[in-house]
């Protein structure tokens, strides 16, 4: 699709270039031929009248011949110039078209990937709900407790769908609205996140600078990012292991480190690690231990 659009845009660019080149060539041709005719007339006037009278017929023929030769030479030169413009303009037009469409192509690919991943995420809980309901409908001795269990399970899937739709909405807003940056306390946000995920205060260890750490960022996005890192660290590390968080400053920059005893992400999965909904081994949903996607 984009290759066809590139060729069409190249054609339009080249058409504009050639129209300008041809108009310029017409102006140059008319100006040059007029100037040559004027100079020939001036040269003829310099010839003595007696000689000019005797050679009037030959002078007229010579004048016309010189004008035709000069016009032909100008046309040939302009033809070569326009041929060069056509070839060079074609290459330049294609490069310009590619550069113009590249951001659009990248945005389209990102959108397609995002829609595909989001569809996959939506399909997983829906499929689970459908399977449970179909199995329950086939059962003729479904007890009250089984029905309650089924409703609880479906309610969990509905909660997943609600959370996912909320995340998609926020991502959509981030795509079409600018982030508001302000002064926020990184240390306070980290402590608040720890309180939400570690009620007993024994699972997460924090190494801090001992004072407020004010940075320039979007508070909602920063809070969500730290929450995702902590949530994934808890879900993908052994139950009794301690998650270590350290916050430090390096000159005018702040650093946030989180370390846990979970499985290390293989190096081949590093490049796409920040793609939306990406998980290692392309497993978008882990039923036993689902983590948050970026």
pLDDT tens string, the chain, 294 residues long: the values are: 678 888 888 889 899 998 999 999 899 888 888 887 777 666 656 655 555 555 555 556 666 777 778 888 888 888 899 899 899 988 998 889 888 888 888 777 777 777 776 777 677 677 777 887 887 778 777 777 878 887 888 887 787 777 777 766 766 665 555 567 889 999 888 988 888 888 788 889 998 877 778 898 888 778 878 888 888 888 888 888 899 999 988 778 888 999 988 877 777 777 777 666 566 554 443 444 444 444
The pLDDT assigned to 19 comes to: 92
User: Token pair 């306390």 is at which residue?
Assistant: 185
Q: Is 136 helix (H, G, I), strand (E, B) or coil?
A: helix
The pLDDT assigned to 283 comes to: 41
182 neighbors 143 (Cβ within 8 angstroms) = no
Rounded to 10 degrees, the C-alpha dihedral 40/45/47/53 comes to 110
Residues 6+ apart with CB under 8 A from 194: 204, 206, 230, 245
Overall size of the chain counted in residues: 294
Reading the block at residue 128, the tokens are 């689970």
226 neighbors 256 (Cβ within 8 angstroms) = yes
Rounded (5°) CA angle 219-221-224: 105
* Nearest one of 274, 262, 180 to 222, comparing CA atoms: 180
213 neighbors 245 (Cβ within 8 angstroms) = no
* Nearest one of 248, 266, 201, 256 to 227, comparing CA atoms: 256
- Per residue, the 3-state secondary structure of 230-284, as one string, reads HHHHHHCCCCCCCEEEEEEEECCEEEEEEECCCCCCCHHHCCCCCCCCCCHHHCC
Residue 70: phi and psi, rounded to 5, are -65, -40
Q: What is the CATH number of domain 182-263?
A: 3.30.565.10
Rounded to the nearest 5 percent, the helix, strand and coil shares of the chain are 70, 10, 20
The pLDDT assigned to 287 comes to: 40
Tell me the C-alpha distance between 17 and 94, whole Å. Answer: 12
Pick the CATH number of 117-176 from 1.10.10, 3.30.519, 1.10.287, 3.40.50: 1.10.287
Domain boundaries of the chain, sorted by first residue? 2-112, 117-176, 182-263
């Amino acid at each position: 699709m984009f290759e066809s659009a590139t060729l069409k845009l190249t054609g339009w660019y080249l058409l504009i270039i050639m129209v300008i080149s041809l108009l310029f060539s017409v102006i140059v041709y008319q100006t040059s031929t007029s100037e040559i005719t004027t100079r020939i007339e001036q040269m003829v006037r310099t010839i003595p009248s007696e000689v000019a009278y005797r050679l009037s017929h030959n002078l007229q023929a010579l004048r016309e011949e010189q004008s035709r030769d000069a016009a032909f030479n100008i046309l040939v030169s302009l033809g070569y110039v326009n041929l060069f413009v056509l070839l060079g303009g074609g290459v330049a037009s294609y490069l310009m078209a590619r550069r113009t469409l590249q951001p659009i192509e990248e945005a389209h690919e990102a959108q397609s990937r995002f829609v595909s991943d989001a569809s996959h995420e939506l399909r997983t809980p829906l499929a689970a709900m459908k399977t449970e309901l179909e199995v329950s409908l086939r059962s003729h001795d479904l007890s009250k407790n089984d029905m309650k269990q089924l409703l609880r399970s479906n309610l969990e899937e509905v909660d997943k769908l609600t959370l996912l739709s909320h995340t998609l909405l926020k991502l959509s807003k981030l795509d079409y609205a600018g982030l508001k940056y302000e002064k926020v306390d990184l240390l306070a946000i980290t402590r608040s996140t720890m309180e939400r995920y570690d009620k007993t205060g024994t699972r997460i260890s924090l190494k801090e600078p001992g004072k407020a750490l004010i940075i320039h960022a979007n508070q909602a996005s920063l809070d969500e990012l730290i929450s995702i890192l902590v949530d994934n660290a808890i879900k993908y590390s052994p139950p009794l292991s301690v998650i270590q968080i350290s916050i430090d400053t390096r000159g005018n920059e702040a650093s946030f480190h989180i370390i846990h005893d979970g499985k290390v992400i293989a190096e081949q999965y590093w490049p796409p690690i920040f793609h939306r909904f990406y998980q290692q081994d392309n497993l978008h949903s882990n039923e036993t231990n689902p983590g948050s996607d970026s």
